[in-house]
Structure 1
Amino acid sequence: MAYTDTNATGSMNSDLAMQQYVMGVQSAHALEKQATQLINRQLERIESYPEVAALLQQHLAETEAQIQRLDTILGELGSSPSMIKDLATQMSGNMAAIMHTVMSDEIMKNHFANVAFEAFEQATYRSLIAMAQAAGFPQHVSAYEATLAEEEKTFSTLLGMTEQLTVKFMQLSAEGEQAKR
Structure 2
Amino acid sequence: MADTSETRSIFVTGLKNAHAMENQALSIMKPQVSRIENYPEVAARLEQHIRETEGQIARIEEVLKSLAEDHSSLKDMALSLTGSMAAMSHSVAGDEIIKNSIANFAFENYEIAAYKSLITIAEHGGFPGLAPALKSNLEEEIAMAKWLDDNLKSVTMKFASLKEAGERAKI
* TM-score interval for Structure 1 and Structure 2 normalised by the shorter chain: over 0.9
1:149 and 2:139 matched: yes
Instruction: Summarize deviations over 1:112-162 as a string: whole Å, max 9, x none.
Output: 000001100100110010111232110111111111111111100110101
- For residues 13 and 78 of structure 1, the distance between their equivalents in structure 2, rounded to whole angstroms, comes to 15
Residue 118 of structure 2 aligns with an amino acid whose one-letter code is L
1:67 and 2:57 matched: yes
Aligned to 1:3: none
Structure showing greater Rg? 1
Q: Please, which moves more after superposition, 125-134 or 106-115?
A: 125-134
1:27 and 2:17 matched: yes
Pairwise CA RMSD of aligned residues?
A: 0.8
Q: Is the 8 A contact 2:112 2:138 kept in 1?
A: yes
- Offset of 1:12 from its aligned partner? 2.1
- For residues 140 and 35 of structure 2, the distance between their equivalents in structure 1, rounded to whole angstroms, comes to 24
Could you tell me the percent identity over the aligned residues? 42
After superposing on structure 2, the runs of 4+ consecutive aligned residues of structure 1 that deviate more than 3 Å are none
- For residues 98 and 51 of structure 1, the distance between their equivalents in structure 2, rounded to whole angstroms, comes to 21
- For residues 54 and 29 of structure 1, the distance between their equivalents in structure 2, rounded to whole angstroms, comes to 24
Return the match for 2:8 from 14, 18, 26.
18
- For residues 88 and 112 of structure 1, the distance between their equivalents in structure 2, rounded to whole angstroms, comes to 23
Q: Please, which moves more after superposition, 160-169 or 131-140?
A: 131-140
The structure whose RCO (Cα within 8 Å, separation 6+) is larger is 2
- Offset of 1:174 from its aligned partner? 1.0
Q: How does 1:6-155 map to 2 (within 5 A)?
A: 11-155=1-145
Q: Is the 8 A contact 2:3 2:127 kept in 1?
A: no
Give the structure with the larger helix fraction. 2
Instruction: Figure out how many residues of one structure are paired with residues of the other and give that number.
Output: 171
Instruction: Summarize deviations over 1:12-49 as a string: whole Å, max 9, x none.
Output: 23211111110000000000000111110101111110
Any gaps of 5 or more consecutive residues in structure 1?
Answer: 1-10
Residue 66 of structure 1 aligns with an amino acid whose one-letter code is Q
- For residues 167 and 32 of structure 2, the distance between their equivalents in structure 1, rounded to whole angstroms, comes to 18
- For residues 48 and 72 of structure 1, the distance between their equivalents in structure 2, rounded to whole angstroms, comes to 38
Aligned to 1:4: none
- For residues 135 and 73 of structure 2, the distance between their equivalents in structure 1, rounded to whole angstroms, comes to 25
In the superposition, the TM-score normalised over structure 2's length comes to 0.98
Structure 2 SS opposite 1:96 = helix
1:174 and 2:164 matched: yes
Any gaps of 5 or more consecutive residues in structure 2?
Answer: none
